[in-house]
Chains A and B, each alone.
Chain A
Amino acid sequence: MSTHSLVAAWTEADLDVVGRVRDVVRAPDRVLATDGARVDPTAPEVVQLAADLVATMRVSPGCVGLAAPQVGESAKVFCVDVSQHPKARDHHGTFVLCNAEVVEASRNERAREGCMSVPDLTGDVKRPSRITVRGQLPGSGEEVTIEAGAFEARALQHEIDHCDGLLFLDRVAGAHAIYARKTYL
C-alpha cells in the first residue's frame, strides 16, 4: 500500500476560505438517513462546506472524520484525519473528498465504532481493512484514487456511508453487537 502524495500533502489551507464550526446533528434526524446529492467539487459552496467540516472536526475531541449530512447538508462531501489516533498507521493526514466511492475492498475486520451523530451507542462493525477509494478534491476538483488501510480505511468507509445515508447502526454485526456508551466519572 502506498500513500497518495497529493492527498497526503493537502491541508485545509488549500481551500483558501475560513471554516466555520457547525452544529452536529444527531440521529434520528432524517438527513442522516438520506442519500446525499453528488456535488460539484469546484463550487464555492462546496469549498466552504469542506472548510466547515474540517473546522468542526478540529474542535470535536476524538473526532477522526465528519460527513456533510452530520452538519445538516445532504451532500457527498466528508473530511477525515486519523493522524492523531493511536490506531492509525499509514495515513494521509487531513483531507476532504467529494463524491467518493469505494472501488476495491478486501480483508474484513471487525471493530467497535462510534459516531458523533449517535452519541449514546457504539457497535461492532465488520469492514474491509484494505480499500481503494476514488473521489475528488474540493477546490481543484482533481480526481484522486487512494489506497487506505487499517483505521483510515475504516474511517473512510464510515464517512462514505454517511454520504450515502447510512449509519454504523445499519451495519452492526448482530443483535448483541450494540452497546450503550458509558461515561465513567
Chain B
Amino acid sequence: MSAVTLHAITVLGHDRPGIIAGTTGRIADLGLNLEDSTMTLLRGHFAMTLVCAGDAGAEEIERALAPLAADGTLTVTVREVPDEQAPAPVGTPWVLTVHGGDRPGIVSAVIGEIAGVGGNVTDLTTRLTGDLYLLIAELELPAEVDADALEGTLRAVAEQLGVGVTLRPAESDEL
C-alpha cells in the first residue's frame, strides 16, 4: 500500500449558493480526490469538513482556496492529517435521544455518562428550535455494558436537567 497524503479542510461562515461548487472545483483542479465530506447549516452558518487525498501540499491547497474567503465571510482551514484506519466496533450500536427545554450542560452531562461506561459517540446532531432542545447521538456501547442500567442512570441525569431521554438499539435493515 502506498502512502497517501491526506488533508482535512474546513469551510465555515456565511451561507451562499456556490460554496461547495467553488471548494470542490478548486480541489479537483489540484488533482485531489475527495474521500469524505460532511456539510450542514449550524444556526444558519455554512459548515463543511472534507478529507481529500493527493499530492498537493497544505500551502498549495490554502492558496487555491483563498479566493473563497476573499470577501471575509468565510473561514477556510487546511491541515494535513494522518491516515486513520476505521476502528473496529467496540460493541453494539445504539441511538440516544434527549429532548426538553434548553439549558446549558445537557450534552456534557448526558454524553459524560456514555463516556463513563466506555461508550463511543459515532455520530451526533443537536438542534435548538424555539424552546426545544434536541440531541440525537449514535453510540457504540461495549458488550459488557448493561443498557437498561445505563438508561436508568441517563434518566436520573435527565430528570435533574428537566429533559427526557430514550436509549434504544440501532436497527439496520438487511435488504
The A159-178 residues at the B interface (CB cut-off 8 A) are 165-167, 169-178
What are the residues of chain A within 8 A of B127 when measuring CB–CB?
A: 121, 178, 180
**Does residue A26 face the partner (Cβ distance < 8 Å to B)?**
yes
Cβ A28 vs Cβ B163 within 8 A: yes
CB B162 to nearest CB in A, in angstroms, measures 8
**Does residue B95 face the partner (Cβ distance < 8 Å to A)?**
yes
**Does residue B101 face the partner (Cβ distance < 8 Å to A)?**
yes
Residue of A nearest to B165 (CB): A170
Q: Could you mark each residue 20-44 of chain B with 1 if its beta carbon is under 8 Å from any beta carbon of chain A, else 0?
A: 0000000000000000000000000
Are A180 and B129 also in contact (CB < 8 A) when A33-B100, A174-B170, A175-B123 are? yes
Cβ B130 vs Cβ A120 within 8 A: yes
What are the residues of chain B within 8 A of A118 when measuring CB–CB?
A: 132
Cβ A126 vs Cβ B171 within 8 A: yes
**Does residue B56 face the partner (Cβ distance < 8 Å to A)?**
no
Q: How many residues of B contact A (CB 8 A)?
A: 27
Are A28 and B136 also in contact (CB < 8 A) when A126-B171, A178-B127 are? no
Q: Could you mark each residue 46-87 of chain B with 1 if its beta carbon is under 8 Å from any beta carbon of chain A, else 0?
A: 000000000000000000000000000000000000000000
Cβ B129 vs Cβ A169 within 8 A: no
Q: How many residues of A contact B (CB 8 A)?
A: 25
A-B contact count (CB 8 A): 71
Please report the C-alpha to C-alpha distance between residue A126 and residue B95 in the assembled complex, in whole angstroms: 13
Are A28 and B166 also in contact (CB < 8 A) when A174-B123, A175-B125, A176-B123 are? no
Q: Could you mark each residue 96-131 of chain A with 1 if its beta carbon is under 8 Å from any beta carbon of chain B, else 0?
A: 000000000000101000000010110000100000
* B interface majority secondary structure: strand
Residue of A nearest to B96 (CB): A175
**Does residue B138 face the partner (Cβ distance < 8 Å to A)?**
yes
Are A175 and B124 also in contact (CB < 8 A) when A28-B163, A33-B100 are? yes
What are the residues of chain A within 8 A of B166 when measuring CB–CB?
A: 166, 170-171
Cβ A172 vs Cβ B99 within 8 A: no
What are the residues of chain A within 8 A of B99 when measuring CB–CB?
A: 27-28, 33, 167, 169-170
**Does residue B10 face the partner (Cβ distance < 8 Å to A)?**
no
**Does residue B134 face the partner (Cβ distance < 8 Å to A)?**
yes
Cβ A28 vs Cβ B100 within 8 A: yes
Please report the C-alpha to C-alpha distance between residue A173 and residue B131 in the assembled complex, in whole angstroms: 23
- Our pick among A33, A120, A175 for the contact of B136 (Cβ within 8 Å) is A175
Give me 17 other A-B pairs in contact (C-beta within 8 A), A27-B99, A174-B136 excluded: A27-B132, A28-B100, A33-B99, A108-B171, A120-B130, A120-B132, A121-B129, A170-B97, A170-B166, A171-B168, A173-B95, A175-B123, A175-B136, A176-B125, A177-B136, A178-B125, A178-B136
* Chain A interface residues toward B at CB < 8 A: 26-28, 30, 33, 108, 110, 118, 120-121, 126, 165-167, 169-178, 180
* Chain B interface residues toward A at CB < 8 A: 95, 97, 99-102, 123-125, 127, 129-134, 136-138, 162-164, 166, 168, 170-171, 173
